C-alpha cells in the first residue's frame, strides 16, 4: 500500500489573530506562548500573569473583553 503525505506551507496565508497578541519579554525579548495564570477581575476585565521561561522575569497584562449579548 503506498504511503501518502500532505505537504503544508510554512507561510500562513493570513496571520493568526491570537499570535499577534502574544507578548514578548521586555527583558530578554523572548516570545511568550501561554500565560502562567489568569483571573477575571470585574466586568469584562481579565488579568494575565506571564513568566518568561528564559530569564524568569514576570509581568501582568490586563485585557478588556467585549460582552456577549444573547437575545
pLDDT of amino acid 3: 45
Task: Locate all alpha helices (DSSP H) within 7-69, ordered by sequence.
Answer: none
Q: Reduced to 3 states, what is the DSSP secondary structure of residue 33?
A: coil
At 6-36, the pLDDT tens digits run 444 334 444 555 555 678 899 999 998 899 9
Q: State the pTM of this model.
A: 0.61
List of E strands, the chain:
37-42, 45-51, 58-64
Whole-angstrom Cα Rg for the chain? 18
Q: How far is 12 from 20, CA to CA, in rounded Å?
A: 13
Band (50; pLDDT cuts 50, 70, 90): very high
4 pLDDT more than 70:
no
- Of residues 46 and 70, which shows the higher confidence score? 46
Label the pairing between strands 45-51 and 37-42: antiparallel
Q: How far is 36 from 30, CA to CA, in rounded Å?
A: 15
Amino acid at each position: 500500500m503506498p504511503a501518502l503525505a500532505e505537504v503544508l506551507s510554512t507561510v500562513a496565508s493570513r496571520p493568526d489573530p491570537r499570535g499577534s497578541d502574544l507578548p514578548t519579554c521586555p527583558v530578554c525579548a523572548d516570545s511568550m506562548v501561554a500565560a502562567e495564570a489568569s483571573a477575571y477581575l470585574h466586568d469584562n476585565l481579565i488579568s494575565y500573569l506571564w513568566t518568561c521561561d528564559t530569564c524568569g522575569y514576570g509581568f501582568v497584562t490586563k485585557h478588556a473583553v467585549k460582552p456577549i449579548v444573547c437575545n
